[in-house]
Structure 1
Amino acid sequence: MSLRKDIWRSGILEAPLASLLSHTDWSQIPCHFLPDMPRAFQFRADPFGVWHEDRLHVFLEIYDYRNRIGEIELFVYDRAWRLIRNEIVLREPWHLSYPQIIEAEGAFWMLPEAHRSGTQILYRAERFPDQWVPACQIDLGGEIAVDATLCFRDNLWWLIYTPVEAAKKAPSRLHLAYAETLSGPWTRHRQNPVRLDPSSARAGGTPVEIDGKLMLPVQDCAHTYGGAVRPLWFDVLTPERVVTHTGPALPIAPRFAPFTEGMHTLSAVGDVTLFDIKKTVLSPHGLMIEAGREIRKARRRFGFT
């Protein structure tokens, strides 16, 4: 238990991701933040999105330190940034976060982070955007992925991920797997880990192609979890060989204060980019929340209600 808690805030920047990399002063870019949380020690993070029927659909984690179970929430905005719809669209008995959304093979797909379930489940929209059903498990030969991120390149599906044991300690490791279809079978890259570096070995957003080269936003956790986002460039990406290099960490505009202590998601959605930034809160209240949760867990374990 810790007195200091990360509190994240998610927003929409009116600029494509590529321009954010080339012009790192975001102080003049129009920004629309998602609504504030109703209670302390709650947050929204890991935003991903897709445009559909001229509306921006934002999927992200909603989290409460009282139960430590993330759920996937939906926000729908029109072009005038009016909020049209807001609801929880996916919940499981385990923690969910990092809900990457893709449109492929005639359907919408969601790949949420769910390592506490012991597996990696790809969901398909039975009815977009609010009904999601398990489509298949992604088999990585016993590896459990954290922040797994999909992209399609050179007629192959690529999965970029950090094994769960590597996500819990430094230096972190970045792994790759590839398949001909989303349902697999998946082959882990023989060069794994393709990166061994706490500053660039955990995915943090959507892969995009810029000037013919694949770029993945990655988390810089060298000093703190989600301390910054930096671009990871794939100079070579084939089943035989991977070559990467990183760019500098992206600065957080001072106008976002007090949420200037970190960033760990940067998601491209056409002409806009979704992002999250954090502040940390030092409060005995946070410790009381964790203590209360542990007491409730102990009571359930010993048969008390």
Structure 2
Amino acid sequence: MIELWHAGFVPRPIADVAANPPTADEIVWLPPQGGFRFAADPFGIKRDEGLTLFAETWDYRVKRGEIHYFQYDNDNRLVTSGPALIEPFHLSYPFLIEEGGELYMLPEAHKSGVLTLYRCERFPDRWVPVKTLLDLPAIDATVVRHDGRWWMFYALPGAERRAMRELHVAWADDLRGPWRQHAANPVRAGLETSRPGGTPFVQDGKLHLPMQDCAATYGAAINLLRIDTLTPERFCATPVGRLTAGEWLDGYTDGFHTLSGHDDVTFIDVKRLHRSAAEPFIKLQFKLRKALGKR
């Protein structure tokens, strides 16, 4: 059994989608990625010429995520796509940040051992590393400017599903740091609301975080976490909502683990659990590539 994800977007703001989940006919889905491949963790940005979505692309024959872009025109038609960022290590969760007239990406790259900020040198396909923000293998780092500071929410790898059951926080006065660890880390524990799953947003005057519910399975649903208190010393939050995949895409009802947004567009992904007689052959291809050094 393998997991297959499918990403898409909804032409409504994230706070609106969180309060009123989309219907199937509202969602624009990325094209299929091919057998035993998928695109997940979508983030995006709108510009005059249209919408660009960035996502992790994964091939079970390679088992190393890459960041690819998908560009749509203003009529939601796919215009072009291609690689945006590829490293020797796994990449996913291409979180985007606009600051000081620059566009940055903060992809998950915990296999590298650190968390690296990339600046867009040529949109959308040239990104250069500019700063190591944390000397930690942070997972799904999610950044927001709130109450005069930069805040980062992230998970850490470890035994007993640590990456799904502990929420850590860091803060800084400047995006490039120095970043300081929250005094109460880990600020939250439990499989339902500890792993970040998208873009923070403000609703009813309160900051909300999309969080992955990993209790039953990895990325089963998105739980919304309302931040009640956030200082360098204190953290208090309350779960206030839950979104599941529903019947958005035929067969993809087994998970939903990214809710991100920019301007008046929201990005989502859904999961299906898939079993195929070809799985042993796909696994053999991966082992052969590894033996030949083709990672």
TM-score grouping bracket, smaller chain normalisation: over 0.9
Q: What do the CA deviations read for 1:12-62 (whole angstroms, capped 9, x no partner)?
A: 1122221222223x326511101111x211000000011122521111111
Find 2:61's aligned residue among 63, 66, 82: 66
Find 1:36's aligned residue among 18, 32, 38: 32
Find 2:285's aligned residue among 283, 292, 304: 292
2:7 — aligned with what? 10
Cα distance in 2 for residues equivalent to 1:203 and 1:84: 30
Q: Is the 8 A contact 1:205 1:218 kept in 2?
A: yes
- State the TM-score, normalized to the length of structure 2: 0.94
Instruction: Give the direction of change, closer, same or farther, for the CA distance of 1:274–1:217 in structure 2 (3 Å limit).
Output: same
Instruction: Give the direction of change, closer, same or farther, for the CA distance of 1:68–1:225 in structure 2 (3 Å limit).
Output: same
Instruction: Give the direction of change, closer, same or farther, for the CA distance of 1:170–1:136 in structure 2 (3 Å limit).
Output: closer
Cα distance in 2 for residues equivalent to 1:28 and 1:129: 28
Cα distance in 2 for residues equivalent to 1:59 and 1:296: 26
2:203 is the alignment partner of 1:206: no
Q: Is the 8 A contact 1:59 1:75 kept in 2?
A: yes
1:129 deviates by: 2.0
Percent pairwise identity: 42
Find 2:103's aligned residue among 108, 123, 147: 108
Stretches of structure 1 that go unaligned for 5 or more consecutive residues are: none
Q: What do the CA deviations read for 1:90-141 (whole angstroms, capped 9, x no partner)?
A: 100011110011111220000000001111110001122221100100125x
2:256 — aligned with what? 263
2:151 is the alignment partner of 1:158: yes
| Corresponding letter in the other structure for 2:36 | F
1:134 — aligned with what? 129
1:189 — aligned with what? 182
Secondary structure of 2:196's match?
coil
1:90 — aligned with what? 85
Instruction: Give the direction of change, closer, same or farther, for the CA distance of 1:293–1:255 in structure 2 (3 Å limit).
Output: closer
| Corresponding letter in the other structure for 1:33 | W
1:169 deviates by: 4.1
| Corresponding letter in the other structure for 1:22 | A
- State the TM-score, normalized to the length of structure 1: 0.91
1:27 — aligned with what? 23
Secondary structure of 1:92's match?
coil
1:118 — aligned with what? 113
Q: What do the CA deviations read for 1:122-178 (whole angstroms, capped 9, x no partner)?
A: 0001122221100100125xx321101111111211110001226844761000000
1:290 deviates by: 1.8
| Corresponding letter in the other structure for 1:98 | Y
| Corresponding letter in the other structure for 1:205 | G
| Corresponding letter in the other structure for 1:275 | I
Stretches of structure 2 that go unaligned for 5 or more consecutive residues are: none
2:72 is the alignment partner of 1:77: yes
| Corresponding letter in the other structure for 2:79 | I
| Corresponding letter in the other structure for 2:281 | M
Q: Is the 8 A contact 1:200 1:232 kept in 2?
A: yes
Instruction: Give the direction of change, closer, same or farther, for the CA distance of 1:255–1:177 in structure 2 (3 Å limit).
Output: closer
1:244 — aligned with what? 237
Cα distance in 2 for residues equivalent to 1:28 and 1:298: 43
